[in-house]
Amino acid sequence: MSCFNFGAAGASDARLGLTTVVIDAGHGGKDPGAISKDGKTREKDITLEIAESLSARIRESYPDVKVLMTRNSDRFISLNDRAEKANKAGANLFISIHINAAPNVKANGYSIHLMGQSTKKDRDLYEYNMNVCKRENSVILLEDDYTTKYEGFDPNDPESYIFMQLMQNAHLEQSMNFAGIVKKHLKGGPISADRGIWQDPFYVLWKTAMPAILVELGFITNSSDLAQLRSGENRKELARRLYEAFVEYKQSYDKSVAVDTTQVLAPAGKDSVAESSSKAEETPVLYGVQILAGGNLLPAKSREFMGYQPKIIKAGRIYRYIIAVSADESETRADFQAIKIKYPDAFLVKISGESTSRLQ
């Protein structure tokens, strides 16, 4: 299977805080998405209506926030183009809206997905929750010459998902935080069953270079969920709940940026400088290459590490896997060139105790 080579994201807005959000209405045009059994309700129509309502609410309340939609009409947009629009805009957040479907008509409820390895212990990524992943990723097959455009990615080939499993997500922690907020705000809404937060290999999330989630707002194949989704008022209510989640996340995001900036810019007295220097001397500084990050703890001998022995650092709910660790920065940088061939999304980090910071 060929390697994947993706361009860099667009430059971020110079202002602090959450300044740009991209709302992605799933499917569209020749790709209707999931369709109800009677053929009267299509996923692409519901997602567009909810996306438009959500976008309008954010624009009205936050005129300084740039709100972009991947589509604002019934037209086909490739998965590549959806992600690239967000990347080129330097977006701070990506929200992809979908409606689920399943052969089992009893399956119901909402779920939130972020890029990563399977949340099911002891099962490979491509073996778990893959029906929905294959369905969403199969949009690729509608495109002309997709094998060239997606550089060998095949939504029906398990090996493609194994490769995706090796790709770290630098924004996983923020994506997980937002997913938790969305989950909280959807509770008690029109779609009652909570199916939880999942880490799954959705192509559109893999390509986005910012915190990103994909939300499935009920099952079009379930009679109860479908009845709720057919109500215009309920679709507005789902959009309102997503908006409330956005508000809470933005407040948290903006506050964290402001705190970080204060810590950097605040003048330090002699005592604080001395204390800081003393701590720096006590904690040796190391350098390494972060290759993966995820919510699950992987054994050191997992195939994902390709024979490398990783240093594992836990930050909140995220495990960061770092290899080529050395006290010599130049030595780590030399190893980095070879590592990038195996892990295209790997990056250099500085390690101080149990904290890491990204290097250029």
Run of H or E including 298: none
Q: Environment class of residue 347 by beta-carbon count within 10 Å: exposed (0-12), middle (13-18) or buried (19+)?
A: middle
Any bridge partners for residue 31, and if so which? 28
d(CA 26, CA 84): 15
User: For 271-292, b where at least 16 C-beta lie within 10 A, e where not — what string?
Assistant: eeeeeeeeeeeeeeebbbbbbb
Q: CA triplet 221, 35, 41: central angle to 5 degrees?
A: 95
pLDDT digits (tens, 9 = 90+) for 304-322: 788 899 999 887 767 888 9
Please list the residue range(s) of the chain that carry CATH number 3.30.70.1070. 279-358
pLDDT of residue 172: 76
If you average pLDDT over residues 100-121, what whole number do you get? Answer: 80
> What tokens were used for 221?
């194949």
pLDDT of residue 356: 84
pLDDT of residue 246: 98
Give the residue, 29 or 1, on which the prediction is more confident.
29
Question: Is the pLDDT at 283 greater than 60, yes or no?
Answer: yes
pLDDT digits (tens, 9 = 90+) for 23-61: 999 999 999 999 999 999 999 999 999 999 999 999 999
> What tokens were used for 39?
């053929």
pLDDT digits (tens, 9 = 90+) for 134-160: 555 555 455 555 444 544 445 455 444
Any bridge partners for residue 319, and if so which? 294, 314
Question: Is the pLDDT at 125 greater than 50, yes or no?
Answer: no
For the residues of 48-87, what is the DSSP string, one character each?
Answer: HHHHHHHHHHHHHH-TTSEEEES-SSS----HHHHHHHHH
Pairing of strands 311-315, 285-294: unpaired
Give the residue, 145 or 211, on which the prediction is more confident.
211
Q: How confident is the model at residue 109 (pLDDT cuts 50, 70, 90)?
A: very high
Run of H or E including 325: strand 318-326
- DSSP-derived letter for residue 2 is -
If you average pLDDT over residues 184-198, what whole number do you get? Answer: 95
**Homologous superfamily assigned to 279-358:** Sporulation related repeat (3.30.70.1070)
- The radius of gyration of the chain's CA atoms, rounded to the nearest angstrom, is 21
Q: How confident is the model at residue 184 (pLDDT cuts 50, 70, 90)?
A: very high
d(CA 166, CA 152): 16
Any bridge partners for residue 198, and if so which? 113
Any bridge partners for residue 311, and if so which? 322
pLDDT of residue 203: 64
Q: Considering the chain, what is the average pLDDT of its residues? A: 78
- pTM of the prediction? 0.66
- As a CATH number, domain 20-255 is 3.40.630.40
Please list the residue range(s) of the chain that carry CATH number 3.40.630.40. 20-255
